[in-house]
Every structure is written in C-alpha cells, then in structure tokens.
C-alpha cells in the first residue's frame, strides 16, 4: 500500500472555482447492496459502485465467503454465490471496515451461523455492536465469544422473526436486521428504525427482488420472511449525499459558479436550508445543485447533528469549516459520535477560533482567515473537511494520510482539479525518487 499525501495551494478566500463536479454512487448505499447479495440465489448486478477502498474490502469479504465477485469496467459488480458458502468473515479484512458488520445479518440468515471479529473502521469514538448482538438474540440466535471473535448461531439453521426495538436508531443496525428478516421464519418488526435514504434504497432493491418489506424510511419497518431472492434487473446505487454536501459547502465558500451534478437535492434538505439561511445562493434541479458566489457575509448558526432527516454527522466537519468563515458565533453539537470533534484542533492551528466546551460541543467564532498547514487526516469525513479548509486557506497545505479520504471518496483530487483547485497527490515512492 502506498502512502499518499495531498499538496494543496489555498485560494486565500478568493471565490474562483467554477465548472461542473460529478457525484459518485454512495459508499454507504453500495456497501449494503453488496452485503445484500448474500440473500440471493443467483447473480446480482450492481452499477454505479464507487471505486474506493471500503468497496474493495467488501468485495474481498464476499469472495472469501464463497461468492464469485466480478468487476466489469470501473463501477459494475457481478456477485454470484458458489456451491460452498462459509460462515466466517475474513478477520483481517473485517477488522479494517466498520461496515463489515452489515454482512453478519445476511450470512446468519442464510446459513444459520456467522463468525466475525469486532469490526474496525473510522476512529470516531466508541463504536459498540451491542444492538446487533441483542437483536440477533431476539431472533433466536446464541452469541458466543471465542478467542476474540463472535460466533452467532441458531439451533434450527434459521433465524426467527422478532420485534426489535433499537435503543438508538442505528443505520447499519436497521439495515442488518432488515436483511436478516428477509430470510427469517415469520415476521420481523424493527422499531425506532433509522430513516436514512440509504435504508429506503436498500429496501427498494430487496423488494424489487422479491422481499416483503414495508415501512422503510419510517421508524417502523416490517419484514415478512421468505426464501432466497432473485434479481429482475441490474440495480444502480443512489448518489452519495455526503459527497454532494461536501462539494456544496466547498462551493459556498470558494466558488464563483459551481454545478454539482448527479446528486439528489432532496436528500440534502437540511444542509441546503441551513446554507440558504446563512446567505448562500443555491438553486436546485431534480439531479443537480448550483451554488454561486455571494458577498462573504454569511450568518452564523447553530448545528446539531441528528439522525436523518436531521443534520448528518458525516457533514459536521465540513460544515464547521464553513462556520469558521461566517460572521459571528456559531454553535455545533455533535450528538451521534463521541470524539468526532477532535479534528477541530487542526482547524485552530490553521487560524480558526474554536472553543471546545466538551467532547460533543464547540463554539466557532468567525470569520477567521485560515492559513495553510501540515495536516493529518484523522478519518474520512474530517479528512475531506481538511481538504476544504486547505482550499479556503491562504498558502500551501499538506494533507497526510490520504488513505483515509480514499476510503470514502473516489480520486477526489481529480474532480477538484477540474473545477480549478490546485491539488496534487504525491505518493511516497515518488517522494523517495525526489519528485
């Protein structure tokens, strides 16, 4: 694995970006569509799958479970079960990917057994899996901890439908139980379910392939269990709302005229509303968002992250960069993850005036001119926020640990360059060669 860094020449607040930037398929939808292929009796064709590391890890997990995974072109995957599917998630790969947890539901539902390690992923505070273990128990499974791995098994080889109340509306939890319910005996009801668009999208895919699911996109989802699914036609992953939202924030800060295409503005209502009320000029069409430069006298605001349709925690870091440029005092309350404000120390080094009240709350005073610095991307969302901050800043920045950004965003620098950002990727090898 090569180590990359981004070299970014900041615009010093100049609003000069212009052109069109495209949004790729959603990582958080694509991963679940791939996991869902475990529920099928024959081949599944998935399109618009982003070419990113988390997807390659998921493909590897499926391959090791006994699925044939073929990639056609850059973004189409064909996934097909072989005769021998096994119940063990590759420990090495699963540990690198938090979303590996969503494979446990379909594997357990199909085989009656699953073995997996505690999943890895972004370092954004504690990421427990108690809700998953409790839900599986409700569905009649036994949970054992063997040498650091979880082994979950059913006596009859089948999960039973159950009523599962989620203490917190976990996104991957909702998706996992929705998929598990598809092959369970009887009816599964998920209460206090998460309502993210990726969940509705997954449900639509499953229903179009024969599953009986109602209520996805509401707090109560009902799944009537049945047999293995069969795909009628190739399925295209929905656009990435977090990528689109990050580009919109970047545009609000430094674009003269930017068109964000291939996205769904309906999934970004809260961000668009917040930016408009701050003074940003935004026009939306069915599949695109246009942002034009206005006088940089943006109003401050209070942001509280919340489950969908509230403000997405995955856009909290880029939004905080925006708030450093608004005039006055803003307040950011991160309610979903602990430790997801630690990156603000780096923004302070760049010149931002941010005061941390406690691990969940900050006060941002703006506008503060930002200055280029050497930054270390701590996780994929804060990593992209650093790229945004470096573009806004004056002078040069280096963003290390680009691998974290690559986990979620496909060659983002190429797309940014197209709209006028001075950004280069430098690989460690090139550096050694003196480039």
Catalytic residues: 122
- Least separation in angstroms between residue 118's CB and ligand UD1 is 11
Separation of alpha carbons 220 and 21, rounded Å: 36
Q: How far is the CB of 148 from ligand UD1 (least distance, A)?
A: 18
Per the CB < 8 A criterion, the answer to whether 353 and 365 are in contact is yes
Strand partners, 362: 332, 356
Distances from the Cα of 34 to the Cαs of 112, 129, 132, 216, in angstroms? 20, 20, 19, 18
What's the token pair of residue 268? Answer: 């970004």
- Closest CB 285 distance from ligand UD1, rounded Å: 26
Residue of 243, 314, 311 whose CA lies nearest to 274: 311
- Say if residues 275 and 252 touch (Cβ distance below 8 Å): yes
Q: Centre a 10 Å sphere on the Cβ of residue 269 and count the other Cβ atoms it contains.
A: 12
Alpha-carbon distance 435 to 428, whole Å?
A: 10
Considering only the stretches 121-129, 263-271, 288-296, 345-353, report the one whose residues sit in contact with ligand UD1 under the rule CB under 6 A: 121-129
Piece in contact with ligand UD1 (CB under 6 A), picked from 61-69, 125-133, 148-156, 257-265? 125-133
As a whole number of angstroms, the distance between CA 268 and CA 223 comes to: 28
The contact mask relative to ligand UD1 for 136-155 (x = CB under 6 A, - = no) is --------------------
- Applying CB under 6 A, which of residues 15, 57, 115, 127 lies at the interface with ligand UD1? 127
Sign of CA dihedral 274, 275, 281, 283: negative
Report 10-69 residues binding ligand UD1 (CB under 6 A): 28, 31
> Which span sits near ligand UD1 by CB under 6 A: 127-135, 177-185, 288-296, 395-403?
127-135
Smaller CB distance to ligand UD1: residue 158 or 241?
Answer: 241
Instruction: Give, rounded to a whole angstrom, the gap between the first and last alpha carbons of the chain.
Output: 19
Using rule CB under 6 A, residue 98 touches ligand UD1: yes
Conformational region of residue 100, where left means phi above 0, alpha means psi within -120 to 50, and beta covers everything else: alpha
Distance CA 411, CA 188 (A): 40
Is the CB of 161 or the CB of 173 nearer to ligand UD1?
173
By CB under 6 A, is residue 116 in contact with ligand UD1? no
DSSP 280-346: -EEEEETTEEEEE---S-PPP-EEEB-STTSB-GGGHHHHHHHHTTSSEEEEEE--S-TTTTTTHHH
The least CB distance from residue 126 to ligand UD1, in Å, is 6
Nearer to ligand UD1, 62 or 326 (CB): 62
- Please select the residue that binds ligand UD1; options are 23, 111, 139, 171, rule is CB under 6 A: 171
Nearer to ligand UD1, 17 or 412 (CB): 412
Of 96 and 417, CB closest to ligand UD1: 96
Q: Torsion angle of alpha carbons 92, 95, 98, 104, nearest 10°?
A: 70
Structure tokens at 43: 């081949």
The Cα–Cα gap between 387 and 419 comes to: 14
Query: Using an 8 Å Cβ cutoff, are 320 and 347 in contact?
Result: yes
Token digits of residue 307: 């489950």
Nearer to ligand UD1 by Cβ, of 115 and 290: the residue is 115
Q: How many residues does the chain have?
A: 435
Give least dist CB 15 to ligand UD1, A: 30
Q: Per DSSP, what are the bridge partners of residue 117?
A: 149
Q: Which listed residue (8, 26, 79, 131) binds ligand UD1 by CB under 6 A? A: 131
Stretch that binds ligand UD1, among 103-111, 168-176, 208-216, 384-392 (CB under 6 A): 168-176
Minimum separation from the CB atom of position 201 to ligand UD1 (A): 11
93 part of the interface to ligand UD1, by CB under 6 A? no
Query: Which one, of 353, 345, 403, 354, lies nearest residue 373 by Cα?
Result: 345
C-beta of 125 vs 140, nearer to ligand UD1: 125
Binds ligand UD1 by CB under 6 A, chosen from 10, 173, 265, 372: 173
Among 130, 145, 273, 418, binds ligand UD1 (CB under 6 A): 130
Q: Are 426 and 401 in contact (CB under 8 A)?
A: no
* Options 42-50, 126-134, 219-227, 359-367: segment touching ligand UD1 (CB under 6 A): 126-134
Q: Which of 8, 17, 46, 99 is the binder for ligand UD1 (CB under 6 A)?
A: 99
Q: Which positions touch ligand UD1 (CB under 6 A)?
A: 28, 31, 98-99, 126-132, 168, 170-173, 194, 313-314, 336-337
């Amino acid at each position: 694995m090569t180590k990359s860094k981004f070299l970014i020449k900041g615009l010093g607040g100049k609003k000069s970006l212009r052109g069109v930037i495209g949004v790729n398929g959603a990582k958080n939808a694509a991963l679940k569509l791939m996991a869902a292929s475990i529920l099928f009796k024959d081949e599944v064709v998935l399109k618009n799958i982003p070419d990113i590391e988390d997807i390659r890890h998921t493909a590897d997990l499926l391959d090791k479970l006994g699925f044939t995974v073929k990639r056609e072109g850059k973004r189409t995957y064909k996934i097909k079960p072989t005769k021998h599917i096994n119940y063990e998630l590759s420990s090495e790969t699963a540990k690198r990917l938090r979303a590996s947890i969503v494979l446990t539901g379909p594997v357990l539902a199909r085989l009656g057994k699953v073995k997996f390690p505690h999943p890895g992923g972004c370092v954004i505070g504690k990421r427990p899996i108690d809700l998953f273990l409790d839900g599986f128990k409700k569905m009649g499974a036994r949970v054992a901890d063997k040498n650091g791995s979880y082994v979950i098994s059913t006596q009859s080889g089948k999960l039973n439908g159950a009523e599962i109340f989620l203490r917190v509306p976990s996104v991957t939890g909702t998706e996992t139980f929705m998929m598990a319910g598809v092959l369970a005996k009887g009816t599964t009801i998920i209460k206090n379910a998460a309502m993210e668009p990726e969940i509705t999208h997954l449900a639509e895919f499953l229903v179009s392939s024969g599953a009986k699911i109602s209520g996805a996109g509401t707090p109560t989802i009902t799944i009537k269990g049945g047999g293995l699914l069969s795909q009628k036609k190739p399925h295209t992953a929905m656009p990435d709302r977090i990528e689109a939202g990050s580009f919109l924030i970047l545009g609000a800060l430094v674009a003269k005229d930017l068109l964000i295409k291939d996205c769904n503005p309906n999934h970004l209502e809260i961000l668009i509303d917040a930016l408009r009320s701050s003074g940003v000029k935004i026009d939306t069409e069915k599949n695109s968002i246009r942002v034009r430069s206005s006088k940089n006298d943006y109003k401050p605001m209070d942001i509280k992250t919340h489950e969908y349709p509230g403000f997405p925690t995955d856009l909290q870091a880029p939004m905080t960069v925006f708030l450093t440029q608004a005039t006055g005092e803003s307040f950011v309350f991160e309610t979903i993850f602990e430790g997801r404000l630690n990156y603000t120390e780096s923004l302070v080094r760049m010149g931002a005036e941010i005061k941390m009240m406690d691990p969940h709350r900050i006060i941002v005073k703006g506008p503060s001119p930002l200055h280029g610095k050497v930054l270390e991307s701590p996780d994929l969302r804060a990593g992209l926020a650093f790229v945004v901050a470096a573009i806004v800043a004056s002078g040069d920045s280096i963003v290390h640990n680009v691998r974290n950004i690559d986990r979620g965003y496909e060659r983002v620098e190429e797309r940014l360059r197209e709209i006028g950002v001075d950004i280069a990727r430098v690989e460690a090898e090139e550096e050694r060669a003196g480039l």
